[in-house]
């Protein structure tokens, strides 16, 4: 039996979400008109996706909520960007979010588009209790190794927080050299809003740094590859050798330097 209304009228009702009872939606699915059934299925998929996203966002507060209940006030998420590239710095960020922060769309920065990251960064910087950034260059990476450089960037980011953090949520590993209590969370940027916020800040700051570096050293394509070892980047290394921003302790760079003596 047909549901009252034209296909367009039903589409308008679904868009306005006006009096959409479960029985009404079921009747749309039984409607003999293919267009009405399609509208109903599309609406139900959209509703289910929104419910899953709402649940995901709510679950990502679980660690912050746990430690707030234990009396911690300034819980900072810490994450980094740039461990894998062949050039440029490693960048870390630390972020303290307030309760009630608008987390719409917040996720692991790698799962977001550049436009989404940029929008989220503006929201985070505007609404965070505090945020800090730590940048460690390729010379430090070559001298101390990438893991130690990453920890140093994280320590610098945490030191920038004002007010200071009283608890840290970190992505996967504890940061040595800090007296603060910490909770390392495997894949934390997908499980904690504070860590996800830090990942967004770190990623966008580093990308901006590499885009600027690309203007100084255009032959390597830093503005698009962000220093990662793409085929084009490796070909540029073969042709031009390494520039002052390259990590000579990383095999693809060091091997070419030794082979071609271009460093």
183 annotated ligand binder? no
Per-residue burial over 225-257, b if 16 or more Cβ lie within 10 Å, else e, is bbbbbeeebbebbeeeebbebbbbebeebbebb
With beta carbons less than 8 A apart as the criterion, state whether 124 and 201 touch. Answer: yes
* Element containing residue 160 per DSSP (H, E): none
Q: At 53, is the secondary structure helix, strand, or coil? A: helix
**Is the backbone of residue 226 left (phi > 0), alpha (psi -120 to 50) or beta?**
left
137 annotated ligand binder? no
22 annotated ligand binder? no
* Element containing residue 218 per DSSP (H, E): none
Please return the burial class of 106, using the count of CB atoms within 10 Å of its CB with bins 0-12, 13-18 and 19+: buried
Residues 6+ apart with CB under 8 A from 192: 60, 62, 63, 64, 77, 169, 185
Q: Would you list which residues are annotated within the binding site?
A: 79-80, 171
Annotated binding site for a divalent metal cation: 79-80, 171
């Amino acid at each position: 039996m047909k549901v009252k209304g034209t296909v367009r009228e039903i589409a308008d009702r679904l868009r306005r979400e006006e009096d959409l009872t479960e029985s009404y939606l079921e009747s749309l699915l039984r409607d003999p008109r293919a267009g009405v059934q399609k509208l109903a299925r599309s609406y139900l998929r959209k509703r289910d996706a929104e419910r899953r996203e709402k649940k995901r966002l709510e679950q990502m507060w679980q660690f912050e909520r746990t430690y707030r209940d234990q009396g911690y006030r300034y819980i900072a998420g810490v994450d980094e960007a740039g461990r894998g590239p062949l050039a440029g710095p490693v960048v870390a960020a630390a972020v303290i979010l307030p309760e009630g922060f608008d987390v719409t769309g917040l996720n692991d920065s790698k799962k977001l588009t550049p436009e989404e990251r940029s929008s989220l960064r503006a929201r985070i910087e505007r609404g965070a209790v505090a945020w800090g950034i730590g940048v460690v260059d390729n010379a430090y990476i070559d001298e101390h190794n990438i893991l130690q450089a990453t920890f140093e960037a994280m320590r610098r980011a945490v030191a920038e927080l004002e007010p200071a953090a009283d608890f840290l949520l970190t992505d996967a590993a504890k940061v040595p050299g800090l007296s603060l209590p910490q909770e390392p969370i495997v894949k934390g940027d997908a499980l904690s809003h504070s860590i996800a916020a830090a990942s967004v800040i770190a990623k966008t700051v580093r990308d901006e740094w590499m885009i600027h570096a690309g203007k100084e050293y255009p032959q390597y394509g830093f503005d698009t590859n962000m220093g990662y070892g793409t085929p084009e980047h490796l070909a540029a290394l073969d042709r031009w050798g390494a520039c002052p921003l390259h990590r000579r302790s990383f095999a693809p760079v060091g091997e070419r330097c030794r082979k071609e003596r271009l460093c």
